[in-house]
Amino acid sequence: MLENLSERLQGIFSGLRSKGRLTEEDINAAMREIRLALLEADVNFKVVKAFVARTKERCLSSEVLDSLTPAQNVVKIVLDELTELLGRTDSRLVLGSRIPNVIMLVGLQGSGKTTAAAKLAYRLKQENHSPLLIAGDVYRPAAADQLQTLGDEIGVRVYRGDGRDPVAIAKEGVQDAIDNLRDVVIIDTAGRLHVDDDMMAEAAAIKEAVKPDQILMVVDAMTGQDVVNVVEAFADSVDFDGVIMSKMDGDARGGGALSIREVTGKPIKFISSGEKPDSLEVFHPDRMAKRILGMGDVVSLIENAVRVQQAEEEELEAERMMRGHITLDDFVMMNAQMRKMGGVQKLVSALPGGDKALASGQVDEGALDAMEVIINSMTKEERAKPELLNGSRRARIAKGAGVSVTAVNQMMKKFNETKKMVKQATAGMDAQMGRGKKGKKGKGKRRRGLGIPGMGGMSMKDLKKIQDMMGQ
């Protein structure tokens, strides 16, 4: 996508560099070439007109024409203006404090909403969230089946409801997320072949019913200039927050991507290239501008390499913990994960009888924090190898934490009970997956959790055990 534009612009800049000093006529000729290149890339003509006017004005300044490297200055100005065109401000997806966060996807039929929903869910899962997908497209044949297949592939649950009323399905799906401790909901809505009143009315009804925290419009990058009219229509009806540009790997001109921010004021939040779950990327205007101008994007390359390495390390860590090889540092990490989920009280409130326990004062919110103080009084070696904690070491730790030795012993008891519980949960999972004692069956398959975010795949039953261990 946009390769032709990139090639054209690089050719224009190469011609400028060959001239050494530049005249006003050289700048005017270059701007005409840039205007033509942008129009051929299917950038909206109003956007092109404004872009060229701003760029030309800056390039004709004496600061550029009289400089020793005028061609480089022109390239810098074009880069700045192109970055501004794409949206200079940070437009990352920001999740609020509401649990669950509700993200609603809208767009025309064929824009790639369903695939984008699954990719977004996968991305959020990699960021330690626990997403739920809602199949809100009840009109397109097999739309729910497609979402179900994609959800199964990435290990994310899909709520389908009765398959008839999209508004009811959306409301019920949000409640299902609450009941099952899912912290993010992604609603896949129905599209049409073109903008019509029925589609807009349904999108508005879903918005009113679930009050989404974010509304993202999925736009086919291959649509061309027509994308501007489509985006403007949705902006007027549902007032979405940002755009996901899909099919950025297509062979179309793709100028629509350069027009959206300028025309609508709505930022591009993600771009999608390819069919794989991990092909959804955060949109960085400055990096995209550099790629278009042939400057490359080394930062993104490095980030992808780091992400792959981290994923491999995290998988090994998860496998280690699921085998019951838990250290006291892991115990501290679980504490941090509980905080992200709203703390002990929020987790307990979701358990059977949890609200009653909270009302009676049986839940000690500071229990995990007290454990963390004790663990932080240990050496690095002791946290990694808890079996080293003999009587003298425990006495030293108790003194450092300002607690009794009994408190240290109680904490270690709960730690050992947690290890035992995880081992039992793992054995149950292996049995369900048909693994024998040697673990040969299902070899090579990635282990998936049982549904509680950030808790190593623990179930509600396991959380009840944690509640009991805390003395609640």
Please name each of the domains of the chain with its CATH number. 3-86 (1.20.120.140), 101-296 (3.40.50.300), 311-469 (1.10.260.30)
Single-letter code of the amino acid located at 170? A
250 or 51, which is more confident: 51
Lowest mean pLDDT among 284-298, 368-382, 427-441: 427-441
- Asked whether 261 and 227 are in contact (CB, 8 A), the reply is no
Share the mean pLDDT of the chain.
77
Helix pair angle (256-264, 45-59), 10° resolution: 80
Q: Please, which residues have CB within 8 angstroms of residue 27's CB and are 6 or more apart in sequence?
A: 56, 59, 60, 64, 65, 74
Q: 């005409």: which residue's tokens?
A: 32
**What pLDDT does 424 receive?**
67
Please state, in angstroms and rounded to a whole number, the distance separating the CA atoms of residues 80 and 196. 38
- Residues in the chain, how many? 472
pTM: 0.60
Decide if pLDDT at 117 tops 80.
yes
Single-letter code of the amino acid located at 273? S
Instruction: Give the closest residue to 38 by CA, choosing from 72, 80, 4, 87.
Output: 4
Instruction: Give the closest residue to 264 by CA, choosing from 287, 284, 239.
Output: 239
**What pLDDT does 74 receive?**
86
Decide if pLDDT at 297 tops 80.
no
pLDDT tens column, 121-167: 999 998 889 999 999 998 888 889 999 999 999 999 999 988 889 99
Decide if pLDDT at 57 tops 70.
yes
**What pLDDT does 352 receive?**
46
What residues are paired with 215 via a beta bridge?
Answer: 104
pLDDT tens column, 332-355: 776 666 665 555 555 544 444 545
Lowest mean pLDDT among 2-16, 168-182, 315-329, 422-436: 422-436
Decide if pLDDT at 445 tops 60.
no
**What pLDDT does 302 receive?**
47
pLDDT tens column, 361-408: 554 556 667 888 899 899 989 988 888 999 999 999 999 989 999 999
pLDDT above 90: percentage of residues in the chain? 23
**What pLDDT does 225 receive?**
67
**What pLDDT does 119 receive?**
94
Q: Give the number of C-alpha atoms closer than 13 A to the C-alpha of residue 161, restricted to the C-beta side.
A: 24
**What pLDDT does 115 receive?**
92
Single-letter code of the amino acid located at 409? N
